[in-house]
Structure 1
């Protein structure tokens, strides 16, 4: 079983950002509930994508390239994200992956999509419209780069095992776009059979398209402060104990000692660097780290950065760091 994973599934950077934010907000902060809710939604989305990933790996083909979480910019500068994209010489398939439980119902006439859960009914985003739009935007993106036109198919995959989907009134054409994770292999086989004798991209065109998709992917990062209307002064500074969560931690040599639970750990400093970078999205300097982690000296911050950086940039004789995440 061979297929090429051109862009692997990874935990979204936004989840790391929200986790760091959660750790740094005071328990009484009014924004904390929204942060927890967004973490839950993004974790559910990632779980659905992991389930879909398992089934797409079962496709036995040497001709498809697989892209997870591809985020592209349209010719007019608008971003769109495709959860799962299969690129082949004869066709492309994009999957909008969900992890939604409860009774889900789509009214194809009003375009209203509802979720009934625990006796409560609420309107949520229509995934058919989402996948249809993403297929359209992908076509615009390909056209702008002169990529030979091949058919684009789109499906919605709900990976939650405790869900029941209906379309009322019935619409078989729309219903055919909604599949279970197990249906990924079946739909691929159907599309493959229906397009195998049609015009196709040659090897050079496939390689060029793959490279363009990878090069043009732009990772999503949250602007923590504008998204949640949080002030920088609301971010708690200092070292956090990895065992009890206390901020009463002091650097002692290469270890960090917690004055609450009396335990030592070398991870408090590394985690503090990650929190600072993920929340503020700025390269770190010894001065900024000393201030954020409330260290005694700038040298302590320098030593911490030197042993925990992914990338070091020198500008006008000054070092800037991106920590290991």
Structure 2
């Protein structure tokens, strides 16, 4: 019996070493085939445009194709859930935005995913601000006029969102609380529908990301009431910041864009990805793209990104409970 065990040991140890060597080699060769960047929002959204810029640059750097796959739905959680079910090998990744990533599970229940444990943060790459816009025929041209109109016409105003717990929803809820507004959300299935109906006047208000609204603002199709950035946007200097409009210094409403991998993705792969993303983020064309969209380049690596996400998940859950907007 002992001789059999010794024989097994002689064969099993080299086998394990070979397996480990094979795994290390595979990780060292990463990426060796097509990489999917899943964006849980529609094509043309702010995060989608940034993801496509990074996909092209990462492909050029690694000589391997990175493609964007849009999986819109459920307020940004549908695509995230799909990534949790993919192989943890670095070939299916999530390129998403906050707060949908951190807030979605708190709103939709634990069956969605755990933002702290179901993903491995790779890199935060940019931050952008939310902007409150109004239909051009709306009977107000500023936040102050909106507040006055709302109080004089209780229950007559509503605003578009892209779903419960999405940035366009929570952002307005924060403003509602600060101003005591009496306005109700109208939840749309996509950002495109929400914007179309705002322009058409079916809903008077909407608060998308600035990149998503920028072209419509510049074309005069909608009116900007306030932006959640620390300073006025260079491309829209006439729109006051929320801090200015509400006379509340330091008030900002922003979201980040970042890359995450499924839980269990090898650390070597995560580190390689983070390194390539950092290199891409410094490329002039990526910096120009992010700035052109009215966003801010903001590179954060895996460890600090994970810490920031944990803090955001905690604060998001507190906000959801405070506002009482979780789905029943």
Give TM-score, length-normalised by structure 2: 0.26
Between Structure 1 and Structure 2, the one with more helix by share is 2
Q: Which has the larger radius of gyration?
A: 1
Pick 1 or 2: higher relative contact order, CA cutoff 8 A, min separation 6.
Answer: 2
Give TM-score, length-normalised by structure 1: 0.26
Between Structure 1 and Structure 2, the one with more strand by share is 1
